[in-house]
Chain A
Amino acid sequence: MKLRAKETLWFYLLVSPWLVGFIGLTLGPMLYSFYLGFTDWDLFNAPRWVGLDNFVRLFTQDRIFGKALLNTFYYAGLSIPLGLTASLAVAWLLNKPLAGMRIFRTLYYIPALVPAVATSLIFQRLLAPNSGLNQLLALVGIQGPAWLLDPLWVKPALVLMSLWGVGGGTVLLLAGMQGVPVEFYEAAAMDGANQTQMFFKITLPMLSPVLFFNLITGLIGAMQTFTQVYIMTGGGPNNASLMIVPYLFDNAFRFYHMGYASAIAWVLFVLILLLTLLVFRSSSAWVYYESEVKR
Chain B
Amino acid sequence: MWRKLSKLDVITSYTILMSLGALLLAPFLLMISIALSSDETTVKMAFTLFPREFQFANFGRVFGPQYALQTFIGNSLVLCLLAVLGQVFVSSLVAYAFARLRAPGRDVLFVILLSTMMIPAEVTMIPQFDIFRRLGWINTLLPLIVPNFFGGAYNIFLMRQFIARIPMDLDEAAQIDGLSYPGIYARIILPLIRPVLVTVAIMTFSWNWGWFMGPLIYINDRARMPLALGVQMLSAVPGGQLPKYNIMMVGSLILIFPLILLYFFGQKYIYQVGIVSSGSSAVK
A binds B: yes
- List the interface of chain A (C-beta within 8 A of B): 4, 7-8, 10-12, 14-15, 17-22, 24-26, 28-30, 32-33, 36, 43, 90, 93-94, 96-98, 104, 107-111, 113-119, 121-123, 125-126, 128, 130-132, 135-136, 164, 167, 171-172, 175-176, 179, 182, 185-186, 189, 195, 209-210, 212-213, 220, 223-224, 226-227, 230-231, 245, 248-249, 252-253, 258, 261-262, 265-266, 268-269, 272-273, 276, 289-291
Contact: A115 with B24, CB < 8 Å?
A: no
Contact: A117 with B104, CB < 8 Å?
A: no
How far is it, in angstroms, between the C-alpha of A126 and the C-alpha of B5 when the chains are bound?
37
Contact: B206 with A113, CB < 8 Å?
A: yes
Contact: A10 with B97, CB < 8 Å?
A: yes
Contact: B27 with A123, CB < 8 Å?
A: yes
Q: Name the contact of A21 in the complex, choosing from B126, B131, B151, B216 (C-beta under 8 A).
A: B151
Chain B nearest Cβ from A63, distance in angstroms: 21
Contact: B97 with A111, CB < 8 Å?
A: no
Please indicate the chain B residues that have their CB under 8 angstroms from the CB of A136 in the complex: 26
Judge if B128 is at the interface, Cβ distance under 8 Å.
Answer: yes
Contact: B278 with A172, CB < 8 Å?
A: yes
Q: Name the contact of A108 in the complex, choosing from B24, B122, B123, B212 (C-beta under 8 A).
A: B24
Judge if B163 is at the interface, Cβ distance under 8 Å.
Answer: no
Contact: B24 with A107, CB < 8 Å?
A: yes
Output the residue of B181, B231, B255, B283 with the most chain A CB within 10 A.
B283
Please indicate the chain B residues that have their CB under 8 angstroms from the CB of A17 in the complex: 90, 93-94, 149-151
How far is it, in angstroms, between the C-alpha of A64 and the C-alpha of B187 when the chains are bound?
57
Given A26-B124, A107-B21, A131-B45, the answer on whether A8 and B103 have CB atoms closer than 8 Å is yes
Interface residues in B237-260 by Cβ distance below 8 A to A read: 245, 248-249, 252, 255-256, 259-260
How far is it, in angstroms, between the C-alpha of A9 and the C-alpha of B231 when the chains are bound?
48
Contact: B280 with A290, CB < 8 Å?
A: yes
How far is it, in angstroms, between the C-alpha of A269 and the C-alpha of B126 when the chains are bound?
14
Contact: B27 with A122, CB < 8 Å?
A: yes
Interface residues in B118-159 by Cβ distance below 8 A to A read: 118-131, 133, 147, 149-151, 153, 156
Contact: A245 with B263, CB < 8 Å?
A: no
Contact: B96 with A14, CB < 8 Å?
A: yes
Chain A nearest Cβ from B52, distance in angstroms: 14
How far is it, in angstroms, between the C-alpha of A14 and the C-alpha of B234 when the chains are bound?
44
Judge if B209 is at the interface, Cβ distance under 8 Å.
Answer: yes
Contact: A96 with B2, CB < 8 Å?
A: no
Sample of 9 more A-B contacts, CB < 8 Å, known A110-B28, A189-B3, A209-B280: A10-B101, A14-B185, A108-B21, A113-B259, A113-B263, A115-B211, A175-B274, A224-B122, A227-B213
Please indicate the chain B residues that have their CB under 8 angstroms from the CB of A195 in the complex: 3
How far is it, in angstroms, between the C-alpha of A268 and the C-alpha of B212 when the chains are bound?
20
Judge if B275 is at the interface, Cβ distance under 8 Å.
Answer: yes
Please indicate the chain B residues that have their CB under 8 angstroms from the CB of A15 in the complex: 94, 97-98, 109
Please indicate the chain B residues that have their CB under 8 angstroms from the CB of A164 in the complex: 24, 27
23 pairs of residues in contact across A and B, judged by CB atoms under 8 Å: A8-B101, A11-B103, A11-B106, A12-B103, A14-B96, A29-B123, A30-B124, A36-B127, A107-B25, A115-B212, A117-B228, A118-B255, A119-B27, A122-B252, A123-B27, A125-B245, A186-B2, A224-B120, A227-B213, A252-B126, A253-B129, A266-B123, A269-B120
How far is it, in angstroms, between the C-alpha of A90 and the C-alpha of B13 when the chains are bound?
11
Chain A nearest Cβ from B190, distance in angstroms: 13
Instruction: Select from chain A the residue with minimum beta-carbon distance to B255.
Output: A118
How far is it, in angstroms, between the C-alpha of A224 and the C-alpha of B121 when the chains are bound?
9
Q: Name the contact of A114 in the complex, choosing from B10, B256, B284 (C-beta under 8 A).
A: B256
Instruction: Select from chain B the residue with minimum beta-carbon distance to A94.
Output: B17
Q: Name the contact of A268 in the complex, choosing from B5, B122, B131, B232 (C-beta under 8 A).
A: B122
Please indicate the chain A residues that have their CB under 8 angstroms from the CB of B279 in the complex: 175, 179
